[in-house]
Amino acid sequence: MASSLGLQKHPLPHHLSQCGYLSRQDSQLSIRYVYTHSECSSSISSLSTISSKSSSLGTFYNTGRALSTALGRSFYARNTRSIGLPDNVSRVLSLVSAYMVVALSAGLCSIYGIFESDYEVVFAQDDSSTPVRSRFAMLIGALQLSFFVAFKRAPVSRWMGSIRAAILLGAVLSAGGLLSASYARAIWQLCLTQGIAVGAGCAISCGAAMHTVDVLKQGRRLVGMERFTKEVISRVWLSHSMPTIFFAGAAGFGGSVLALGVQRLIYAVGDTFALRWLSLVVGVSQLFAVVFISTPSQLAQQSATELVALDVTAGQIEKDVDSPVLKDRRDTINSRQARLKKVRGEKLRFGFGLLGGCCYHMCYMVPAILMPGYANTILPNNKAYSGAGLLALICFASAVGSLLGNLFASMRHIHFSKIQQSTVQCVLLVALSLSIWCLWLPTANSWGMASAFCTVYGMLWGLVQEVGGYAQMSFVTNTVDLARVFLRPQQTKDSMAKAAADDLYTKSEQENNRDWNSATMDYSRVGSRSGALLATITSVFWAASALVSVSISEWLFVRVGAGETYLPSIAFTAAASTMAAILTAISTYLVAH
C-alpha cells in the first residue's frame, strides 16, 4: 500500500476533460445558458487542439466531446424551457439530484477515518527501531472537517449568481482534490488536496444543493405555523414536510454506502486507484445532477399558489376565531423586547452558546474518524471490513436519527408545541455525552459494546443535528441585536433593543410572507450585515474547534496512548461532549430568564 501511494501514473479521468466547458456555461445566471452551435464547436475545437499534442488522451477527448455536447444541449433545452417536464416531475428530479449531491458530499467527509487508518501506517516514522504511527495523518481529516464546517453555510450560490455554478465549483474542488491526493507523496500535500480542497468543495456542493428544499422548509417555518390551527396544518403537512423528512438522512445514508464501497476499493486496488475512482464517481455524478436541479425561485413559483391559499385560509380562521396563539405571539414579542434590554444577559447567553457550539464541534466527528483505526488496532479477530462496518453503522444510525428528528421538528407545532427546542437539545447533548462515557470508554476489546456504541451514538448524533440544529441555527441568525451590541456600542440600549425587535419581528416577517422567491436557507443573509458578520465569526470559531479537537485526539493517541490505546482520546471526546451539554444548558437558562 505504501509503495502504491503517489508512485503510479494514471491518465486523467475523462470527466475532467469537459469541466472547463461546463464551468464556462454555468458561471453566468441561469437565464443566460443559451449557446450557439458555433460557440460549442469553438470550445470543443480548443479541447481538440490541446488533446492533439498527446495521443494518449485521444480516447478521453472523444468521450469528453460527446459528453460535453450532450450536457450543453441539455442545459440549452432546460433553461429555454423546451424540455416540457411537468412541475411535479421537475420538482421530484430536482429533489433526487440534490439528494444525491448531499449524500456524496456530506457522506464523503464522514468516511475519512477509513483513509486515516491506512495513512497512519503509510507515513509511519520508521527511522527508529520501533516504528511509530504517524501523528499527522489525522490532520488531513481535521482540515477536511473544519473547511466543511466553515463553508457549508456560506452563501456561495449568491456570490456566483447561480446554484448550478456553485455545485459545479464544489464538484471541481472535491473531484480535483481526490484526484490530486492520489499523486501525493507527503502529508502536507494530502492536507492541501484531500483536506482543504475536498472539505471546501463538499461543503459548497452540499450547501448549494440544500437550496432545493429551501422553499419547503421556509414555507413551514417563515409563514408561521403557530398562526394556523391544527386542521389547517394537517392539510399541508404532507406536501410541505415530507420532502424535508426524506432529505434529512441523505448524509448518513451516503456515508454508510461510501464507507463500505471505499473500503472495498482500497482492498481491491489500493489507496491510489481508490481515490481516482472516487474522484470519478463524485465528479461525474454531480455534473449530471446539475442538469436536473432547480433553483429556489423556480420551486417558489411552483409553490406560490399553495402558500397564498394557505395564508388566506389562515386569515379567515383568525377573523372568525380570536386565536389564543396570536396572543401568545404578541406576548412573546413583548417579552423579547424586554429581554433585549438586558444587554449583559444577552452577551452572556451568546458567549455560553458560542462555547457550547465549539465544544460540540470538538467531539461530534471524532468517533467517526477514530472508529476504523480503533477496530483495526484494538478489537480482536479483525476482518477486512470491520472498521468500515462500524463506521457504516454510525452513519446509518445517524440517518435514522435525522429522519426521526426531522419528523419531530415538523410535527412539534402540532403535537409538541409546549416542548422547547433548546430543552430537547440539552437532553440530547447529555445523552450523547453519556453514550461516550458509558458505552465507548469501557468497550475495551468487545465487539458487542463497540456495535452498541456506534448504534446509540449515531442515532443521537442524527437527532442533535436535526432537532438541536434548528436551535443552533436560530441562535446564529437571530443575533442581529447582539451584533449591534458588539459592533455598534454608540447606540443607546433602549433604541438598540427596539430597532432589533422591529427588525426581527416586523420587517423580516412581512418581507418573507410577501416575497416567497427570496425564501432561502442563506442563514448569514438573515438580519443586518452585522448579524451576518457575527454569524460568520461563529462559523469560523466552530470550524477552528473541529480542527483543534481532531488534532488533539490524534496527539493523545500517539503521545499519551503510545499508539496502542485510544483511552486518552476517548476521555477527551467525552469531556468535550459533557462541556457542550453544560454550556448549552446555561445558555438555555439565560434565555428563559
Q: How would you write the pLDDT of the chain (593 residues) with one tens digit per residue?
A: 444 444 333 343 333 333 333 333 333 323 223 333 344 444 444 434 444 444 444 454 455 445 445 544 444 344 434 344 555 666 677 778 888 888 888 888 888 878 877 776 666 655 544 445 555 666 777 777 777 776 665 555 555 557 778 888 888 888 888 888 888 887 788 888 888 888 888 888 887 777 666 544 444 433 333 344 444 444 444 444 555 666 677 888 888 888 888 888 888 888 888 888 888 888 888 888 887 776 554 444 444 434 433 343 334 434 333 444 444 444 554 555 554 445 455 666 677 777 777 777 777 778 888 788 778 777 776 665 677 888 888 888 888 888 887 777 666 555 555 566 667 777 888 888 888 888 887 766 777 888 888 888 888 888 887 775 544 444 443 443 444 444 444 443 444 444 444 444 333 333 333 332 333 333 333 344 555 566 667 777 777 777 777 778 777 877 777 767 778 888 888 888 888 888 877 877 766 55
Handedness of CA 527, 531, 536, 541 (dihedral sign): negative
Quick one: 45 exposed, middle or buried, by C-beta within 10 A (0-12, 13-18, 19+)?
A: exposed
Q: Which three cell numbers stand for residue 36?
A: 450557439
With cell 478521453, the residue in question is 60
Q: What pLDDT does residue 38 have?
A: 41
Helix axes 366-377, 529-555, angle to 10 degrees: 10
How far apart CA 22 and CA 2 sit, in angstroms, is 36
CB 421 within 8 A of CB 470: yes
- pLDDT computed for residue 17 by the predictor: 36
Give the integer Cα–Cα distance in Å for 538 and 544.
Answer: 10
User: Which three cell numbers, joined as nine digits, stand for 109?
Assistant: 467527509
Q: For 125, phi and psi rounded to 5 degrees? A: -85, 95
Measured CA angle at 159 (ends 75, 351), to 5 deg: 135
CATH topology of domain 85-322+349-592: Growth Hormone; Chain: A; (1.20.1250)
Spatial CA neighbour of 235 closest among 309, 298, 323, 324? 309
Extract the C-alpha cell encoding 315.
Answer: 386569515
**Are residues 375 and 443 in contact, defined by beta-carbon separation less than 8 angstroms?**
no
User: Strand, coil or helix: what is 132?
Assistant: strand
* DSSP letter assigned to residue 557: I
Reduce the DSSP state of residue 27 to 3 states and report it. coil
Rounded CA separation 354/541 (Å): 8
Bridge partner residues of 132 (DSSP): 125
For residue 296, what are the CA distances in angstroms to 23, 31, 74, 159, 476?
A: 21, 14, 20, 15, 22
Per residue in 422-477, pLDDT (tens digit) is 677 778 888 888 888 888 877 667 778 888 888 888 888 888 877 755 444 444 43
**Per-residue 3-state assignment (H helix, E strand, C coil) for 513-546:** HHCHHHCCCCHHHCCCHHHHHHHHHHHHHHHHHH
**Under a CB-based contact definition with an 8 Å cutoff, are residues 379 and 386 in contact?**
yes
pLDDT tens digits along 365-391:
788 887 887 787 777 766 656 778 888
Residues with Cβ < 8 Å from 135, sequence gap 6 or more?
554, 555, 557, 558, 559
Q: Are 590 and 348 in contact (CB under 8 A)?
A: yes
**How many of the other CB atoms lie within 10 Å of CB of 461?**
25
Distance CA 273, CA 335 (A): 60
Identify the burial level of 527 via C-beta atoms within 10 angstroms of its C-beta, where 0-12 means exposed, 13-18 middle and 19 or more buried.
buried
Neighbours of 127 (CB within 10 A): 7
Q: Domain spans of the chain?
A: 1-84, 85-322+349-592
DSSP collapsed to 3 states, 345-390: HHHHHHHHHHHHHHHHHCCCCHHHHHHHHHHHHCCCCCCCCHHHHH
